Amino acid sequence: MTMNEAGALPHGPPINILPPTPAGLESLYSLCRKIYPDQPNPLQVTALLKYWLGGPDPLDYISMYANPGNPQANIPPHWHYISFGLSDLHGDGRVHEVTTPNGVSGYGFELSFRLQRHPEETAPPTWPATLMQSLAKYVFQSGNTLCAGDHVSWHCALDNSESRIQHMLMTTDPQLRSTQTPFGSVDFVQIVGVCAEELRAAQQWTGTGVLEMLSRFSQTGGPWLITDMRRGECIFDVDPAAHEKIENGFEVEGSNLSGVSARCSWAEVDPSKLIKARSSKEENQDSLGEKTDGQGCSYYTHGSQNDISNFKSDGGKDGMGLLEASEILQVKKLEGLSLVFNLEAGSLLPLAIRGRVKHGRHFTFKSILTDTVITLVANSVTGTLVNSENPYVVQGPWLQVLIPDDLAQDMATTFQVLTSPEILALPKTFTWPDKKLSITIVPDKV
């Protein structure tokens, strides 16, 4: 092109070559602008290589807002993090299946997190973005969604410091309500950092019950459940009546935790080989023990249903859906059964029996190493494969174990030793020869 030709080109304002904001993303941005009208362009963590192009991070963006709080309402200044990517931002199938506006967008939710702002801070820390990406990867890889009342066992400080805030509960964001986008509805699930004692309380009773207790005190999050990584007190330090409230709730209502992803395995055994021994190290040095090494449980589904057809076994599929998908697999009735759990999973057996089975419900352990699913069911649970004549039945990857009332009562007493796992000599085997059943607890790391 000559200089004369260049001079002949029309003059005018520069052409905007940036692509338009995707419709799903724009809907969420619009919601955020209503809450933060003075922050139209917040600081943002962006995935450099987008997930649909092969990048490792499922969340396209994480916006970070400065929330001034409300001293009159006991809400301190804090940083507010909001994710974009668990819902369908694009609507063209590049990440999520295309759905109608009447359905849910993508996984149907985005994550948020509120971190207490300390006076010396002038910019939001970015570590919460890494945490949110990790949770998003879990959702994308497992297909399991997160909702209010859920809890996640993390086992290290959320910011990799020396903080005692090492686990998470999920609640509904107090400002970001469910919203409608062109590609479906989106809820906002807020991450709440908690300590180990509070996680155990949520496991024993309900996540929503513990969250309500935490929201009553400014030291434990206040009404908006704001996470303070410098928090030194747990709810039991702040509220002397907390233990009694949780124990009463557990006894009256049971637990709403219906399953965990865990280290577990099973094997059919010859009933004649089940000797009446409460502990034996020699019989447990086998491949079952080797399969259960490692650590970490994640808590993936909740509910108080006494119908196993409502159990979400994997990726949102319900229990009966799992059976339908494996109809061609033979149903096998087992004569004798040996179950093996690592210590963290085994420490939940008292909860599974006292908080679920004795309340007429079911509890499921889903292996994180294989496709094995082990469900303990009470007599009153409907839609099962098991009965009093055939208490152990497997179809495909799903093993169902009937726990009759007399066995549940015995287990409730026997498993009390598992509430103090630090004093156990492992491996430890519990045996019920008359039921042709044994349960072995092995170390988290072997």
**Crossing angle (nearest 10°) for helices 242-253 and 207-214:** 160
CA–CA separation, 257 and 214 (whole Å):
19
User: Is the sign of the CA dihedral 237, 244, 360, 424 positive or negative?
Assistant: positive
CA–CA separation, 266 and 168 (whole Å):
30
> At a CB cut-off of 8 Å and minimum separation 6, what does 347 contact?
418, 419, 421
What's the confidence (pLDDT) of residue 16? 56
Two tokens, residue 108: 């149907």
Q: Which residues pair with 377 in a beta bridge?
A: 362, 402
Q: Which residues pair with 362 in a beta bridge?
A: 377
H or E stretch at 262 = strand 257-262
Exposure string over 115-127, b if 16+ CB within 10 A, otherwise e: bbbeeeeeebeee
What's the confidence (pLDDT) of residue 5? 46
Cα 339 off chain centre by: 24
- The reply to whether the predicted model has a pTM over 0.75 is yes
CB atoms within 10 A of CB 419: 12
Pairing of strands 362-367, 257-262: parallel
> At a CB cut-off of 8 Å and minimum separation 6, what does 33 contact?
40
- In single-letter form, the type of residue at position 160 comes to N
**Phi-psi category of residue 91: left, alpha or beta, with phi > 0 → left and psi -120 to 50 → alpha:** left
| Residue range(s) of every CATH 3.30.1360.230 domain in the chain | 257-442
Map residue 128 onto helix, strand or coil. Answer: helix
Quickly tell me which residue has 């970001």 as its tokens.
176
Q: What is the CA radius of gyration of the chain?
A: 25
Give the angle 437-261-316 at the CA atoms, nearest 5°: 115
Q: Are 379 and 402 in contact (CB under 8 A)?
A: yes
Q: Which of 405, 400, 418, 303 is nearest to 358 (CA)?
A: 405
What's the confidence (pLDDT) of residue 361? 95
What's the confidence (pLDDT) of residue 420? 85
CA–CA separation, 113 and 121 (whole Å):
17
> Is the preceding peptide bond at 427 cis, omega within 30 degrees of 0?
yes
CA–CA separation, 32 and 65 (whole Å):
9
Quickly tell me which residue has 């994997």 as its tokens.
314
> At a CB cut-off of 8 Å and minimum separation 6, what does 5 contact?
none
Residue by residue, pLDDT tens for the chain (446 residues) are 444 544 454 555 555 566 899 999 999 999 999 999 999 999 999 999 999 999 999 999 999 999 999 999 999 999 999 999 999 999 999 999 998 889 999 999 999 999 999 999 999 999 999 999 999 999 999 888 999 999 998 989 999 999 999 999 999 999 998 999 999 999 999 999 999 999 999 988 999 999 999 999 999 999 999 999 999 999 999 999 999 999 999 888 899 888 888 899 999 998 877 754 333 333 333 333 332 233 345 544 433 345 554 443 333 333 433 444 444 578 999 999 999 999 989 999 999 999 999 999 999 999 988 999 999 999 999 999 999 999 999 999 999 999 999 999 999 999 999 988 788 899 999 999 999 999 999 998 75
- What's the CATH number for 257-442? 3.30.1360.230
User: Is the sign of the CA dihedral 86, 92, 95, 100 positive or negative?
Assistant: positive
Number of residues that this document lists for the chain: 446
What's the confidence (pLDDT) of residue 170? 97
